[in-house]
């Protein structure tokens, strides 16, 4: 049985195939509307989420399946002290596949060790967010026509930003990728990721603090929010939260074909004037997120377009 816990759980070939399916879904959603008839997705969200949970639920409903689950830790048996291992063993009796978000890092991995159904990591603390990565990869591929030979700027909270960690690990597997890591010193990419995902593979990268100075080099600008919930110290959060705010003025130096991505939700790190810029791709990402999660559910359940096991 396959799970998706880490973005590297799938080979690049598998990701390409999954993105192909997602593109087919985008082109003809109706053709997939019965694929998951009689299948149930459990959404186990121990941490608040709007986008990811609704995106998973929308994906399963679009496939003709059913959805059950909870949307916060308080409304789950975790509030009574139940372990993740026990919860997933129980949920395995009620559903065919599950998406789990948890504030603790490694919780979906722990679940996958005890689960009898495929587990999808829908975000674990500041660690990984592999389905957001699939969404990002789909958006990049649709915008640029490829996943290699790109200069990627990752900007904002690169320390606790789980979407950044997952995207960096994934893109590092493609030819000709170069990273520009834009963050204040306190929010730099963790050393283990630099070491294992970049140095070890000889991936070129530079660390920068000034967004505008590197803007003209970027094919992709991936903005992130500084997340209050990742800080133990409110003072640090307040000091760092407004470090980067993307405005039309800052975009003047950017290439006309650059794409701006953001995992959303946005607070103020991208000013709303940028939304009208054709380079803004973040709402497209939200749409792609549904298609790619549909493709992922099909893949993990081993279902083809006709709904048959493949």
Q: Which is nearer to another protein, 112 or 131 (CB)?
A: 112
Options 3, 39, 53, 101, the catalytic residue: 101
- Binding status of residue 199 toward another protein by CB under 8 A: yes
Q: Does 123 bind another protein (CB under 8 A)?
A: no
**What is the nearest approach in angstroms of another protein to the Cβ of residue 82?**
9
How many residues belong to the site for another protein (CB under 8 A)? 20
Measured between alpha carbons, how far is 85 from 17 in angstroms, rounded to an integer?
A: 31
Residue 9: CB minimum distance to another protein, A: 13
C-alpha 239/C-alpha 218 separation (Å) is 27
114 versus 174: smaller Cβ distance to another protein = 114
Q: What is the Cα 51 distance to its own chain's centre?
A: 11
Q: Which of 36, 24, 29, 92 is nearest to 60 (CA)?
A: 36
User: Is residue 151 a contact partner of residue 218, using CB atoms and an 8 Å limit?
Assistant: yes
- Residue 101 appears among annotated catalytic residues: yes
| 98 near another protein, rule: CB under 8 A | no
The closest of 232, 83, 243 to 158, measured between CA atoms, is: 243
CB of 44 to another protein, least distance (A): 13
Given the complex with another protein, which of 155 and 198 has the nearer CB atom?
A: 198
- Stretch of 7-15, 51-59, 107-115, 274-282 contacting another protein, by CB under 8 A: 107-115
Q: Mapped to the 3 state alphabet, what secondary structure does 173-235 carry? A: CCCCCEEEEECCHHHCCCHHHHHHHHHHHCCCEEEECCHHHHHHHCCEEEECCCCHHHCCCHH
Q: Does position 48 bind another protein by CB under 8 A? A: no
106 part of the interface to another protein, by CB under 8 A = yes
184: contact with another protein by CB under 8 A:
no
Catalytic residue among 2, 12, 29, 51: 51
**Tokens describing residue 19:** 């993105």
Read off the DSSP letter of residue 48. -
Name the minimum Å distance from CB 210 to another protein: 27
Comparing CA positions, the residue from 54, 192, 45 lying closest to residue 124 is: 45
Q: Which two tokens stand for residue 270?
A: 């991208």
49 binds another protein (CB under 8 A): no
d(CA 143, CA 106): 32
Name the minimum Å distance from CB 118 to another protein: 19
Cα(125)–Cα(104) distance, integer angstroms: 5
Comparing CB distances to another protein, the nearer of 169 and 262 is 169
Q: Of 21, 40, 43, 52, which residue is the catalytic one?
A: 52
3 is an interface residue for another protein by CB under 8 A: no
Q: Is 52 a catalytic residue?
A: yes
Site for another protein in 72-91 (CB under 8 A): 83-85
Catalytic residue flag (residue 80):
yes
Q: Residue 233 interacts with another protein (CB under 8 A)?
A: no
φ, ψ of residue 221 to 5 degrees: the values are -115, 115
Q: What are the two backbone dihedrals, phi and then psi, of residue 125, each rounded to the nearest 5 degrees?
A: 55, -135
Is 169 in the active site? no
Q: Give the binding site for another protein (CB under 8 A).
A: 83-85, 102-107, 109-110, 124-127, 192, 195-196, 199-200
Catalytic residues, which ones?
Answer: 51-52, 80, 101, 129
């Amino acid at each position: 049985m396959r799970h998706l816990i880490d973005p590297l759980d799938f080979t690049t070939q598998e990701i390409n195939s999954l993105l192909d399916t997602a593109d087919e879904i985008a082109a003809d959603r109706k053709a997939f509307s019965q694929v998951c008839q009689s299948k149930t997705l459990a959404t186990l969200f121990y941490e608040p989420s709007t986008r990811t949970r609704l995106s998973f639920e929308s994906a399963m409903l679009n496939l003709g399946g059913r959805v059950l689950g909870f949307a916060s830790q308080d409304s789950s048996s975790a509030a009574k002290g139940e372990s993740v291992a026990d919860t997933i063993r129980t949920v395995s009796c009620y559903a065919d596949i599950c998406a789990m978000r948890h504030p603790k890092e490694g919780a979906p991995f722990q679940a996958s060790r005890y689960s009898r159904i495929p587990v999808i990591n829908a975000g674990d603390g500041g660690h990984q967010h592999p389905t957001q990565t699939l969404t990002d990869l789909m958006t990049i591929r649709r915008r640029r026509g490829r996943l290699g030979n790109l200069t990627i700027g990752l900007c904002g909270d690169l320390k606790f930003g789980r979407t950044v960690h997952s995207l960096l690990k994934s893109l590092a597997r493609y030819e000709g990728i170069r990273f520009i890591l834009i963050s204040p010193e306190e929010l730099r990419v963790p050393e283990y990721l630099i070491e294992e995902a970049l140095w070890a593979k000889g991936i070129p990268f530079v660390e920068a603090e000034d967004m505008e100075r590197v803007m003209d080099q970027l094919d992709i600008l991936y903005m992130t929010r500084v997340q209050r919930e990742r800080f133990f110290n409110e003072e640090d959060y307040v000091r760092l939260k407004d470090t980067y705010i993307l405005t039309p003025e800052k975009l003047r130096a950017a290439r006309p074909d650059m794409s701006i991505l953001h995992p959303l939700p946005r607070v103020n790190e991208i000013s709303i004037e940028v939304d009208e810029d054709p380079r803004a791709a973040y709402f497209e990402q939200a749409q792609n997120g549904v298609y790619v999660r549909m493709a992922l559910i099909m893949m993990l359940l081993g279902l083809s377009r006709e709904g048959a096991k493949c």
